[in-house]
Amino acid sequence: MLLGSTVMPESLVASGGATATLPQRATVEARDLTIEYERRREKTRLVALHGFTLTVYAGEFLAVLGPSGCGKTTFINTVAGLLPPSEGTITVGGKPIEGPGPDRAMVFQEYALMPWLSAWDNVAFGLDLQGRLKQPGGRDTVQRFIELVGLRGFERSYPHELSGGMRQRVGLARALVTEPQILLMDEPFAAVDAMTREVMQGELERILAQTGQTVIFITHSIDEAITLGDRIVVISSRPGQIREIIPVPLPRPRWEYDTKAHPLFVPIREHAWGLLQKEVQGNVARGG
C-alpha cells in the first residue's frame, strides 16, 4: 500500500531503554505534489511524482531511498526551488516555494566546484553572492567553516589538487557557510571510495550536531540511510509516491559506535531492502 503521509511519533524507543525524541515543528511540507516533465520529442508528459505528501521536521535528518528514476532528485530539486509543482503544494516554513532562496543550500554528487577557484574562494562564493563576504566577520565565517569540515591548510589548493573526499568537503563547506535552514544533499558521497564515505558520514553527523540544519539526503545505500537518518522515506517506482516511512531509533551520536552492530540495524535494513526489492522487481516487470 502506498502511503501519502505518516503520523510523526512523539518518541521512538531505542534498545537499552534509550529514548530518541524527534522534532515536531514542520519545515518542509509537500501536499498532493505532482511533478511532470514535458517530453517535446515524444509530445507527451512524464509524471515523475504523483500525489506526493510528506512533512519534514525542523532539525531532522531525512534519508530518501528509491529505485533509479523514481523521482528522488525531482523532489529535492523542487524543495530547492528549481522545479515548480504541476499540481499540489510545497512550502518551507509555511510559505510556498517560489524559487531558490538563502534558507536552502544544495550539496551535489559531482562536487560542482569551480576549477579556477581555490578551495577558500569556492567556499566563499555563496557568501559573496549574498553580499556578505565583505561585511564584518565575513572572511572569518568562511575560515570557520573551512576548519569545521577539516580543510585547514588547504585553503589555497585548487580542486584538481584535492582528493575526492576533500573536494566534497569543500562542497559541504560552501553549502554550510551561508548558514541555511535546510541542507539538500543529492547522493553527496556516491563518488568517493567506501572508506572515505564512512569517514564523511561520521564527519557530517558531527558537523550537523553543531549547526543543527534540517537535512534531506538522497542515497542509494540502505546502510547509509540507516547510519545517518532519523527517518527513511522509501519512494515507489515512477511515478514516485511514498511507499513507506521507516523510523530509525538508533541513539546519537552515531559516529561514536558501530551502527551496524546495533541490534536494530539488521531488522531495519531487511525491512527497507524488502520494500526496495519489490519496487525494483515491479519496475522490471513493467519494462521500466
Residue 16 has pLDDT above 50, yes or no: no
In the chain, where are the structural domains located? 1-24+55-81+180-288, 113-173
H or E stretch covering 201: helix 194-211
Which grid cell sits at 34? Answer: 505532482
Q: Which of 215, 234, 257 is nearest to 107 (CA)?
A: 215
pTM confidence score: 0.86
d(CA 279, CA 256): 34
Residue 82: phi, psi to the nearest 5? -90, -20
Tens-place pLDDT, residues 142-165: 999 999 999 999 999 999 999 988
d(CA 112, CA 167): 9
Residues 6+ positions from 184 with CB-CB distance below 8 Å = 76, 79, 80, 104, 105, 106, 107, 215, 216
Which grid cell sits at 6? Answer: 505518516
Looking at domain 1-24+55-81+180-288, which of 3.40.50.1370, 3.40.50.880, 3.40.50.300, 3.30.499.10 is its CATH number?
A: 3.40.50.300
Instruction: Say which residue, 38 or 95, is predicted with more confidence.
Output: 95
Instruction: Say which residue, 161 or 24, is predicted with more confidence.
Output: 161
Kind of pairing, strands 44-57 and 26-39? antiparallel
The average pLDDT across 67-95 equals: 93
Model pLDDT, residue 14: 33
* CA-based radius of gyration for the chain: 19
Which grid cell sits at 206? Answer: 558531527
What integer best gives the mean pLDDT of the chain? 86
In Å, how far are 134, 167, 263 from 117, measured between CA atoms? 18, 12, 46
Tens-place pLDDT, residues 207-257: 999 999 999 999 999 999 999 999 999 999 888 999 999 999 999 999 999
